[in-house]
Each structure stands twice: as C-alpha cells, then as structure tokens.
Amino acid sequence: MNESTAPAPIPENATPSDARPLSERVGAPETVDEIQHPDVATWRPATRADLDEMVALVDSCDRVDHPTWLTPREDVEEIFELSHIDPELHTRLGFAADGELVAMAGILVHPSQDKQVYVYCTGMVHPRWRRRGIGTQVLRWEYETAQTELARTDARLPGAIFLHAYEHDAEARALGARRGMPEERWFTTMLRDLSDPIPEVPLDAGSPALRIETFGPQWRDATRVARNDAFRDHWGSLETPPERWERFVSGSQFRDDLSRVVVDGDRVVAMALATVNEDDWEVQGYTSAYVALIGVVRDYRGRRLAPAVITALLTAARDAGLEKVNLDVDTESPTGANSLYGRLGFEATDREVAMVARF
C-alpha cells in the first residue's frame, strides 16, 4: 500500500470510528517484498553472530545523528533477547559487495496490547551510504512489516506506527512525510549543570508517612506498578511488562545509587531513575547521568513530589562526582513537566519529533 491509499490518521487514544477489527482496517499487504537496492548486495535477517558489526553501525550513525549520546551495546543486543522480538521476522541487514554492513531495518512491536497496538521503526543507514535511496527502501520494508504485525490482531483497538527523528535530521523527517507519517509530537532534551546550586524541596509536611528512599531490589516491582499508573495519561505510553522492566533495572547502565523513589508505606508513589553510560562522556566532554524515568502516580499529583524526588537525584549525582544530568521531556506533558524542569535549572538543548501513522 502506498501513501495515497493509507487510512486517514486518527487521534491517539480515540476509539476508531471504523469499528472493524484492526486486522481489517490496516490494509496490510499480502506479502512484504524484500528490500532491494542496486548499491546493497545482500539483505538478510540479523543473527547474534552479527552483533559486533551491528554495534559498530549503530555507533557510526549515533555520532552523526545525535553526537552527545551513544547507544549502549546491550540496547542493540536486546534484539536477540526479548521474547517479543523475532529477528527473523523483524530485522534485515544490508551488506555491500565487500561484506560491509551498511544498513539495518527493524521494527519493535510493543508487548502491551490491551489498549493500543504500537509498532516502532528503528532502521538506519551508515552516514557514508546515505542520499542514495537506501533509507527509502528500509522504511518501506519497515512500514509494510509493521502493517503486517498490526494486522495480526482482531481486537477493535487503535493501532499506530512510529518513526522518531531529531529536528536537524531533515532527511529522516522527509522520509516519514513521504511515507504518510505526519509529525505529531515533539520532545526536548534538557541539561542540568550540577555545579549550580540545587534547591532543597521538602516532602509534603501534611503527609508524614512519605519518605524518599534510594532505589533497591525491594522497590523494583512496586516502582514498575507506579510507573504504569503515572504514565497512563501520557502521550504514546503503554504499560511496561515485567520482562522489559527487569531488563531495564538490571542493566549495566542502571544506577540504583543515584535513583530515588518516594514511598508511602510499601507503595511507591513517585520515582526518578537514573542511568549512566560512561561511553557518552567522551562525546559529551563531561561526566553525566541520564534521568530515564520520572513520574508521580496520579492520586499523589499536586503535592510537589516530582521536584522533591528530582532534586534528590540531582544531589546524589553531584555527590557522586558527576558534572551534569540530562533528560528528555514531552513538550506537551499533561503534568507540565517541561516547565518544572526549567524551574529546577534544566536548559533545553536538542529536539526530537515523533512521526506517526494511525489506524
């Protein structure tokens, strides 16, 4: 199916006006043609034996597309480890005639599918091999493969295909536009210098049972439950299942010692969770932590728990000898998070856009 025959987009979280099952609405092709391009000799699914070459390709792309952070090896490796990813169906690698890996195509089907069915396009082309039309063919395969995945469900649920690009990446944004994926939501990267004073934000004095704790194993699942509650009304967010969560909090970049939770009894009601990728420091020119997740459960909002838990994380990062902390925020967050971070001393740097085709 080409762009001109794609179904009209529907708003996020809306009930489709067409009450047919998603499998009937998507209009997926009967078969997905394999990727072909005259400059790429071979396309095939990824295997674990390709991991080193895949990591090298991702690194080359990172240094051009977002030069202030690099993708950890374990994030690439999860293609072969998560149960909801099938490399045979969901990936393609493109090799030049001399055997060099020059492109990757991939989709990620979100494992939570009780309210929405989301698929993400994750492909890339080596910077030296761009502007030849390879990216167009990669996205065509990803989009059609994503349609096929959406068509697997007979549920009457909204479905969506996502593609992300940085504001300065005009080529990627043009690819999405040609594929019929309008720019729908913007996200801002913000940076906080830890040499600047960090305000003290006390917990709600009217709730003496509240306390801030360092994240630890005893809070793992309670924090996942809190995360899913906190993000129920956030754009593009679906529940994080246990498998995905355990991989995140047990990963080599996750920092329990910097992460903080607000608890009420044995319930986690707010969290600020940090990761550290020391490979980033080389390209950044400073030491840093990344705030991967900030949230407050909905029935505890309006009690200044977010600034309290964030400043606790900032203080921990400063005391650990780190120089800066960064995060990404939805520019239209329902909680006003982008304004909050500005008041806490974060400054905007880059912007990223989500392009979405909805069904």
DSSP letter (8 states) at residue 40: B
In this predicted model, what pLDDT tens digit does every residue of 70-114 receive, in sequence order?
Answer: 999 999 999 999 999 999 999 999 999 999 999 999 999 999 998
Q: What gap in Å lies between CA 39 and CA 29, rounded to an integer?
A: 26
E strands, 148-266, are 159-166, 183-193, 210-214, 254-264
pLDDT of residue 237: 84
In this predicted model, what pLDDT tens digit does every residue of 144-186 receive, in sequence order?
Answer: 999 999 999 898 999 999 999 999 999 999 999 999 999 999 9
In this predicted model, what pLDDT tens digit does every residue of 276-292 receive, in sequence order?
Answer: 999 999 999 999 999 99
If you average pLDDT over every residue of the chain, what do you get?
92
Q: Quote the CATH superfamily of domain 189-351.
A: Gcn5-related N-acetyltransferase (GNAT) (3.40.630.30)
Q: Is the dihedral of CA 53, 243, 295, 291 positive or negative?
A: negative
- CA dihedral 275→196→295→74, nearest 10 degrees, is -10
Between CA 161 and CA 142, with CA 11 as vertex, the angle to 5 degrees is: 10
Q: What gap in Å lies between CA 323 and CA 163, rounded to an integer?
A: 32
- Tell me the CA end-to-end span of the chain in Å, nearest whole number: 14
Query: Given the structure tokens 């998070």, which residue do they identify?
Result: 337
CB proximity list for 192: less than 8 A, separation 6 or greater: 314, 324, 325, 326, 341, 344, 345, 346, 347
Q: What gap in Å lies between CA 164 and CA 351, rounded to an integer?
A: 11
In this predicted model, what pLDDT tens digit does every residue of 42-52 receive, in sequence order?
Answer: 999 999 999 99
On the question of pLDDT at 337 being above 90, the answer is no
DSSP letter (8 states) at residue 37: B
On the question of pLDDT at 4 being above 50, the answer is no
Q: What gap in Å lies between CA 79 and CA 47, rounded to an integer?
A: 9
Q: Could you tell me the residue ranges of all domains in the chain?
A: 3-181, 189-351
- CA dihedral 261→265→268→269, nearest 10 degrees, is -90
CB proximity list for 314: less than 8 A, separation 6 or greater: 192, 194, 198, 325, 344
Query: Given the structure tokens 């360092």, which residue do they identify?
Result: 214
Domains 3-181 and 189-351 share a fold: yes
DSSP letter (8 states) at residue 28: -
Q: Which fold has domain 3-181?
A: Aminopeptidase (3.40.630)
CB proximity list for 132: less than 8 A, separation 6 or greater: 37, 39
Q: Is the dihedral of CA 232, 342, 312, 215 positive or negative?
A: positive
CB proximity list for 83: less than 8 A, separation 6 or greater: 111, 243
In this predicted model, what pLDDT tens digit does every residue of 112-122 receive, in sequence order?
Answer: 998 899 999 99
Q: What gap in Å lies between CA 257 and CA 253, rounded to an integer?
A: 12
The amino acid occupying position 23 is S
